[in-house]
Structure 1
């Protein structure tokens, strides 16, 4: 959060020439840099999304649908400076979405556990996932193209995914405590 706030403050800093405002913003930036470099603060910040992800995963005993997840590093560091776009995986599963996410993560040997952000419930996950991907592509949300990583990773926002689900009339299971823009 400190890194995201620092980005916003830097943008404000660039837009002003008032020396009093500049001094104040520089002070705020120094404080935010200190917080962003504090390992204990970063670890504490990771607790909330992980706890919310675990809470959501408990409700998914038999849910099927389209899921959205990411990794804590990607959540903390938006893909583009000054935006809320992050690398998010938008995939589908017939049941037990979180079990599928975990099995993928363990096969790829990622250095941290994934954070499940959303599950959009549907009885037709293949069709709904296709709709999501078409809309993400049409909105020019960059898609991963690597052979090893698949094509389900997008540079997008959770708010955009929620909007797609709303338009499609899908029930949404959310990880509480996940802050969006």
Structure 2
């Protein structure tokens, strides 16, 4: 285990007495150590010297991409620096709002956290930065689509990433459909993605030769977990209120490869 002797003793509340000298960095460290969510667990893993692959394994996840996203948020908090990525900024701002809402914080730290949250949220709402990041995600999506790998494909829209159905868990509307040949042919022929107001973003590919049968298995798991989305003629039956974390677990249970194309999951379980 890591040496934490430099940190103050932990209490049930993330507070420091107003009679004690105020150290913002130490207050952040204490909050992270007391945080029982994934953010806090990853911070503890890092203190223990675990690699991203080891962290992913400890969390029951084959892919380690999510670890790097949380690392960015933790580093931003410790350095008190606004993340470059508007998506990372959005997740970090949401995290700070939960702390502000649920924890009894030292008044000095609360004031600092309120001001920092506002600055981070401003970055999250930077439309130009968002557009750049979306363009990069779309480019990655098209590159993966060009491979024409048979399997289950997971898409979403930028709107559903920015305005999640459940901000607390990170669940939002995701399209889970299969491609037996070429993904452009599949989605184009189905008419599901061609008339949308935004460029869809490909989040995952789970390769499978029997893609149609595998899709049915995914849909059965999602329905059983009550992750079914609103059924409309426009959306079709392939949209679910879920998360890539849950979908990755399904893929692992089915012994499928998890190909991370874009990582935007903000769940903090």
TM-score range, shorter chain: 0.7 to 0.9
Q: Is the 8 A contact 2:161 2:264 kept in 1?
A: no
Q: Which residue in 1 is equivalent to 2:99?
A: 12
Q: Is 1:28 equivalent to 2:113 in the alignment?
A: no
CA shift for structure 1 position 156:
0.6
**In 2: Cα distance, 1:22 partner to 1:38 partner:** 24
Higher relative contact order (CA 8 A, sep 6+): 1
Q: Is 1:83 equivalent to 2:169 in the alignment?
A: yes
Q: What number of residue pairs does the alignment pair up?
A: 176
**In 2: Cα distance, 1:117 partner to 1:102 partner:** 18
Q: Which residue in 2 is equivalent to 1:121?
A: 207
CA shift for structure 1 position 149:
1.9
**Aligned residues: CA RMSD:** 1.9
CA shift for structure 1 position 102:
5.0
- 1:112/1:102 CA distance change after superposition, 3 Å: farther
**In 2: Cα distance, 1:124 partner to 1:19 partner:** 58
Q: Which residue in 1 is equivalent to 2:150?
A: 64
Q: Which residue in 2 is equivalent to 1:149?
A: 235
SS in structure 2 of the partner of residue 26 of structure 1: helix
Q: Is 1:137 equivalent to 2:223 in the alignment?
A: yes
**In 2: Cα distance, 1:147 partner to 1:57 partner:** 25
SS in structure 1 of the partner of residue 169 of structure 2: coil
List gaps (5 residues or longer) in structure 1: none
SS in structure 1 of the partner of residue 174 of structure 2: strand
Report the TM-score when normalising by structure 1. Answer: 0.86
CA shift for structure 1 position 30:
1.3
Which protein shows a greater Rg? Answer: 2
Task: Considering fraction of residues, name the structure with more strand.
Answer: 1
Q: Which residue in 2 is equivalent to 1:178?
A: 263
Report the TM-score when normalising by structure 2. Answer: 0.60
Deviations 1:9-63 (A, max 9, x none): 1100012332112101111121023213322222122233223212312322xx2
**In 2: Cα distance, 1:3 partner to 1:128 partner:** 33
CA shift for structure 1 position 153:
0.3
Q: Is the 8 A contact 2:206 2:259 kept in 1?
A: yes
Q: Is 1:55 equivalent to 2:140 in the alignment?
A: no
**In 1: Cα distance, 2:197 partner to 2:100 partner:** 35
Q: Is the 8 A contact 2:173 2:229 kept in 1?
A: no
Deviations 1:117-170 (A, max 9, x none): 222222222221111011111112132222332111001111211111111122
CA shift for structure 1 position 77:
2.8
